[in-house]
Amino acid sequence: MAPEAANPPRAITEKTLTDALLYLNGVSVTFDGFRALNALSFTVDAGEMRAIIGPNGAGKTTMMDVITGKTRPDIGEVFFNGGTTDLTKLDETEIATLGIGRKFQKPTVFESHMVIDNLRLALKGQRGALANIFRRETGEERDKIDAIFETIRLSDHRYRLGGALSHGQKQWLEIGMLLAQDPKLLLVDEPVAGMTDAETAQTAELLRAINANGHSVVVVEHDMTFVRDLGVRVMCLHEGSVLAEGTLDQVSANERVIEVYLGR
Ligand SMILES: Nc1ncnc2c1ncn2[C@@H]1O[C@H](COP(=O)(O)OP(=O)(O)OP(=O)(O)O)[C@@H](O)[C@H]1O
């Protein structure tokens, strides 16, 4: 077997704890005796984008639930920001405030509000959400909204209603709403499900641009064309653990990955 075909997961060390933006070590979650996560360990570096693949039931959603505080691990460590913050001690709101944004599979934009108001509502601030719509924004906020529109390619759609956008555009708007909150880490769950091929390709570009702007990104996705377009490190989960990690070519050449996920 070629050495790169083995691609075992990277070892977790003290150094990876202090260097990593996100660090999971030995995380297990059991539902009614069923192990959804089984001693799951991996790290994500600051500025890294990582794709996660794996069969249905591999534990991908449970992994995101653990990172965002929705599910507590039975055992294991989950640290953020170079080991400084123990996420298992925080609730969902505290974790979101720390800078971890999550995009669920289905778009949830405010359909009866204009696209630009969706972004205004999402802007981080002490004021209430409605106040964000009705008051005049500062120059800085306007620049930020313009920059987000540029990234999510919806500049020409800002005065349309959220509900009038295509499925793909709604997904991009929701990603923009997350960006308005300046996340350090974005967790994105199957963003291209239901998108056209053109939208899928644009979504890969969009996430690459977001990552190039300094946001770390973890994307769960089954669409291998999209994962290839992302061009990032890939991790395959199976039965709640990391089965293989490496480039897409390395992971797709792994015999076990072919057996349990990609098929022959
Ligand atoms: N709240 C729960 N109660 C009981 N079992 C659960 C619960 N949540 C998840 N599971 C089980 O844990 C396993 C892992 O589920 P999870 O949703 O994390 O997998 P996944 O990799 O996201 O799958 P998919 O690709 O289908 O979304 C599955 O067998 C699922 O049925």
CA dihedral for 32, 34, 39, 43, sign (positive or negative): negative
In 3-state terms, what secondary structure has residue 259?
Answer: helix
Of 239, 183, 232, 210, nearest to 63 by C-alpha is 239
Neighbours of 77 (CB within 10 A): 17
pLDDT of residue 17: 72
Of 248, 209, 261, 255, nearest to 51 by C-alpha is 248
CA distances (Å), 34 to each of 26, 28, 59, 240, in order? Answer: 16, 10, 11, 10
* Domains within the chain, CATH numbers bracketed: 3-262 (3.40.50.300)
pLDDT under 50: residue ranges of the chain: 1-5, 126
Of 105, 82, 102, nearest to 93 by C-alpha is 102
Each residue of 88-114: pLDDT tens digit? 999 999 999 999 999 998 888 999 999
Of 238, 240, 234, nearest to 219 by C-alpha is 234
pLDDT of residue 133: 59
Which mutation among 27, 29, 32, 34 tests ligand 1's pocket best, with the greatest number of atoms within 8 A of CB?
Answer: 34
Binding pocket residue ranges, ligand 1, CB within 6 Å? 31-32, 34, 36, 54, 56-62
In 3-state terms, what secondary structure has residue 33?
Answer: coil
Q: How close is the Cα of 55 to the center of ligand 1, in Å?
A: 11
Question: d(Cα 211, Cα 55) in Å, to the nearest integer?
Answer: 26
CA distances (Å), 144 to each of 78, 92, 116, 136, 162, in order? Answer: 31, 26, 12, 14, 19
Q: pTM above 0.95? A: no
Which mutation among 24, 29, 56, 239 tests ligand 1's pocket best, with the greatest number of atoms within 8 A of CB?
Answer: 56
